[in-house]
A and B are shown apart, each in its own frame.
Chain A
Amino acid sequence: MILASILPIEKIGMEEVSLVSKKRKIISWSVFLGLIAVLLVLVFVIPGNEKTESIQETMQDAVLHERGLISLFGLINVNPGLISGFLVTIILLVFAVIVRIFFIPKFKYVPGKFQLLIEQAVGFFDDLAVSNSPHHNKFLSCYIFGAGAYIFVGTLFELVGIQVVAVNGVSMALPAPLSDINGAIAIGCFSYLVIMAGGIYANKAKGVLLTLKEFSLPISMSFRLFGALLSGLLVSELVYYYLQLSFILPVIVGVLFTLIHALVQTYVLTMLTALFYGEVSEVKPKKKKEKKVKASI
Chain B
Amino acid sequence: MFLANIPLNIDWQQILLHLLNFVILVGGLYFILFNPVKKFMDKRKAHYEEMDKKAVDTLSSVKDKEREINEKLANLNQELENKKVAASKEIASLKEAQLAEAQKQAEEIISKATIAAEKEKEKIITSANKEIRNLVSEGMKKVMSSSEDEAIDDFVKTFEGSKKDGSN
Interface pair B9/A142, CB less than 8 Å apart: no
Cβ of B167 under 8 Å from chain A:
no
Complex interface: chain A residues within 8 A of B28 (CB): 89, 92-93, 96
- What is the interface residue range for chain A against chain B? 35 or more
Of chain B, the residue at the smallest CB distance from A153 is: B25
Q: How far is the CA of A141 from the CA of B34 in the complex (A)?
A: 9
Chain B stretch 21-73: residues in CB contact (< 8 A) with chain A: 21-30, 32-38, 40-41, 44, 47-48
Interface pair A100/B36, CB less than 8 Å apart: yes
- The 8 A CB mask of A175-197 against B (1 = contact, 0 = none) is 00100111101110110000000
Of chain A, the residue at the smallest CB distance from B16 is: A186
Complex interface: chain B residues within 8 A of A65 (CB): 9
Cβ of A277 under 8 Å from chain B:
no
Interface pair A150/B22, CB less than 8 Å apart: yes
Interface pair A89/B15, CB less than 8 Å apart: no
Cβ of B17 under 8 Å from chain A:
yes
Closest beta carbon of chain B to A215's beta carbon, Å? 19
Of chain A, the residue at the smallest CB distance from B26 is: A146
Complex interface: chain B residues within 8 A of A189 (CB): 15, 19
Complex interface: chain B residues within 8 A of A145 (CB): 29-30, 34
Q: A181 is contacted by which of B8, B27, B33, B37 (Cβ under 8 Å)?
A: B8
Complex interface: chain B residues within 8 A of A109 (CB): 44, 47-48
Interface pair A100/B33, CB less than 8 Å apart: yes
Known contacts A109-B47, A146-B29; decide if A79 and B9 are in contact (CB<8 Å): yes
Cβ of B13 under 8 Å from chain A:
yes
Cβ of A13 under 8 Å from chain B:
no
Interface pair A190/B14, CB less than 8 Å apart: no
Cβ of B133 under 8 Å from chain A:
no
- What is the interface residue range for chain B against chain A? 20 to 34
Cβ of A208 under 8 Å from chain B:
no
Chain A stretch 91-111: residues in CB contact (< 8 A) with chain B: 92-93, 96-97, 99-100, 104, 107, 109
Q: B25 is contacted by which of A64, A93, A122 (Cβ under 8 Å)?
A: A93
Interface pair B10/A182, CB less than 8 Å apart: yes
Interface pair B32/A78, CB less than 8 Å apart: no
Cβ of A207 under 8 Å from chain B:
no
Of chain A, the residue at the smallest CB distance from B27 is: A146
Of chain A, the residue at the smallest CB distance from B14 is: A182
Interface pair A97/B32, CB less than 8 Å apart: yes
Q: B33 is contacted by which of A64, A72, A82, A96 (Cβ under 8 Å)?
A: A96
Of chain B, the residue at the smallest CB distance from A100 is: B32
Complex interface: chain B residues within 8 A of A76 (CB): 13
Q: A89 is contacted by which of B21, B35, B48 (Cβ under 8 Å)?
A: B21
Cβ of B121 under 8 Å from chain A:
no
Q: How far is the CA of A97 from the CA of B31 in the complex (A)?
A: 10
Of chain B, the residue at the smallest CB distance from A194 is: B26
Q: How far is the CA of A123 from the CA of B44 in the complex (A)?
A: 13
Q: How far is the CA of A64 from the CA of B15 in the complex (A)?
A: 14
Complex interface: chain A residues within 8 A of B15 (CB): 182, 185-186, 189
Q: How far is the CA of A190 from the CA of B25 in the complex (A)?
A: 13
Cβ of A240 under 8 Å from chain B:
no
Q: How far is the CA of A189 from the CA of B18 in the complex (A)?
A: 11
Cβ of B11 under 8 Å from chain A:
yes
Complex interface: chain B residues within 8 A of A150 (CB): 22, 25-26
20 residue pairs from A and B, CB less than 8 Å apart:
A85-B18, A89-B24, A93-B24, A93-B28, A96-B32, A100-B36, A104-B37, A118-B37, A119-B41, A141-B34, A142-B35, A145-B29, A146-B27, A146-B34, A147-B22, A147-B26, A150-B25, A180-B18, A181-B8, A181-B10
20 other A-B residue contacts (CB within 8 Å) besides A78-B14, A96-B29, A145-B30: A66-B9, A78-B17, A85-B21, A89-B22, A89-B24, A92-B25, A92-B28, A104-B37, A107-B37, A118-B37, A141-B38, A146-B25, A146-B26, A146-B29, A150-B26, A177-B18, A185-B15, A187-B18, A190-B19, A190-B22
